Amino acid sequence: MGTMFGVGAALLGACVGSFLNVVIWRLQQVDPAKRSLLGRSHCPHCGAVIPWFLNVPVLSWLALRGRAACCGKPIAVRYPFVEALTAVLFWALAAWGTAAPFAVTAEHAVVVDAAAAATWSARATFLSLLVALSFIDFDTQLLPDALTKPGLALGLAAGVWPGVAGELGDDPTVAPALRSALAGVVGAGVGGGVTWAIRALGSAVFRREAMGFGDVKLMAMIGAFLGWRSALLTMLLGCVAGAIFGGLGLLFGGSARIPFGPYLALGAVAALFFGDAIADLLLVTWPEWQRANAGSQWALAGMASAALVLLFVLVRRARRSG
Ligand SMILES: [Zn+2]
């Protein structure tokens, strides 16, 4: 049963990924006529309508060997990549991200667990929004309101189902739905508030915009879906990932301007799937290791300082040449 649900979720994910490709492309169009999400898919090169049998996720791209059937122009490998990525995320959500939304009894009757189904759908929608926002941010360095605002509203609304955003407190006299809804509201406030504060601080210290207001809205959305603890963990992981990949990008001749959205999305996915394990590592395993290995702390602190100095030197050099 679990395997069947996983395969079904992956197939659904591939189809949703195909739709996300359309969302990513059309939200970047300036022409309002091209921005509509309705209507048939067209070839981005020659405008020909793509028949349904050439629009099968991943498989069509493989069968066509990456070339459009209409005009022979190359189709970017990114299209099947987005489809495969969404399929993997949906599969992971089915495999260990949430409780199974339905079960089969010994009498072969299907029992649907409404709360688990709501949680699964909310999180699948959340993951889809993260995929679309990441790729749009990569392309345009913008996180469009057309996705972050409805995403925030949906996250807050989904919170009325117990368990979607976790629960705030454990007072048994308060209804679980209220605790869950409050967890979404507080999560959105903490996620958006912390990002807004970091943004204000960064602007004051570095006298340039370190983060956009789109990042604030994205983090409010993430907090609404995951709760305040995971929002903070997302911020921490996003900063670490941004520093590592941004540093690597600088080292290998990339630009110093990095879109922050994809790193926050990466942090949110890690917080969703591995939140407990990461919190355990940071709050329990790490302090214990520090107590047991007093001498090596200095070596680690030295290495971290050297890395920080290197990053500053690199950023300064990039600015001078830019
Ligand atoms: Zn074409």
Give the pLDDT confidence of 200-252 residue by residue, as tens digits.
887 777 666 667 889 999 999 999 999 999 999 999 998 888 888 877 777 77
Is residue 6 pLDDT above 50, yes or no? yes
Which residue matches tokens 């189904």? 117
140, 167, 199: which is the final residue of a domain? Answer: 140
The radius of gyration of the chain from alpha carbons, rounded to an integer in Å, stands at 22
Rounded distance from Cα 74 to ligand 1 centre (Å): 9
For residue 268, the CA-to-ligand 1 centroid distance in Å is 36
Mean pLDDT of 143-157: 94
pLDDT digits (tens, 9 = 90+) for 240-291: 888 888 777 777 766 656 688 999 999 999 999 998 888 888 888 888 887 8
Q: State pLDDT tens for residues 98-121.
A: 677 777 777 878 787 887 888 889
Same domain, 289 and 305: yes
Query: Does 293 score more than 70 pLDDT?
Result: yes
194 plus 270 within the same structural domain: yes
Same domain, 314 and 178: yes
Q: Which candidate, 95, 84, 89, 85, places its Cα nearest to that of 3? A: 95
Q: Which of 107, 140, 173 is the last residue of a domain?
A: 140
**Distance between CA 126 and CA 221 in Å, rounded?**
9
Question: Over 70: is that where the pLDDT of 314 sits?
Answer: no
**154 shares its domain with 121:** no
pLDDT band at 20 (very low <50, low <70, confident <90, very high): very high
Distances from the Cα of 303 to the Cα of 120, 202, 306, angstroms:
42, 25, 5
pLDDT at residue 300, rounded to an integer: 78
Statement to judge: residues 90 and 229 lie in one domain: no
> Which of 100, 120, 140 is the C-terminal boundary of a domain?
140
Return the structure tokens found at 97: 């991200």
Q: How far is the CA of 48 from the centre of ligand 1 (A)?
A: 6
pLDDT band at 322 (very low <50, low <70, confident <90, very high): very low
- Give the Å distance between the CA of 97 and the centre of ligand 1: 39
**Residues 193 and 280 grouped into a single domain:** yes
**Whether residue 26 sits in one domain with residue 148:** no
- Residue 14 CA to residue 45 CA, distance in Å, equals 23
136 and 228 inside one domain: no
- Report pLDDT for 196: 92
H/E stretch holding 110: strand 110-112
Residue 76 alpha carbon to ligand 1 centre in Å: 13
Is the pLDDT at 194 greater than 90? The verdict is: yes
Q: How far apart are CA 59 and CA 57, in angstroms?
A: 6
d(Cα 61, Cα 67) in Å, to the nearest integer?
A: 7
* Whether the Cβ atoms of residue 31 and residue 129 lie closer than 8 Å to each other: no
The rounded Å distance from CA 68 to ligand 1 centre is 6
CA of 135 to the centre of ligand 1 (A): 22
Q: Do residues 155 and 125 share a domain?
A: no
Cα 208 to ligand 1 centroid, rounded to whole Å: 42
Domain identity same for 119 and 179: no
Q: For residue 76, what are the contacts with CB-CB under 8 A and spacing of at least 6?
A: none
292 Cβ neighbours under 8 A, 6+ residues apart: none
163 and 294 belong to one structural domain: yes
Provide the 10 A C-beta neighbour count for residue 319. 9
Residue 254: what pLDDT? 64
State the distance from the centre of ligand 1 to the C-alpha of 79, rounded, in angstroms. 15
Structural domain boundaries, residue 69:
1-140
CA 131 to ligand 1 center in whole angstroms: 25
pLDDT reading at 320 higher than 60 = no
Q: How far is the CA of 71 from the centre of ligand 1 (A)?
A: 4
C-alpha 273 to ligand 1 mean position (Å): 39
Same domain, 94 and 178: no
Instruction: Compute the distance from residue 49 Cα to the ligand 1 centre, in Å.
Output: 8
What Cα–Cα distance (Å) separates residue 116 from each residue in 130, 160, 301?
21, 13, 44
Give 27's Cβ-side CA count (13 Å radius). Answer: 23
139 CA to middle of ligand 1, Å?
A: 22
Please tell me the pTM assigned to this model. 0.85
Give the distance (Å) from ligand 1 centre to CA of residue 125: 31
The tally of domains found in the chain comes to: 2
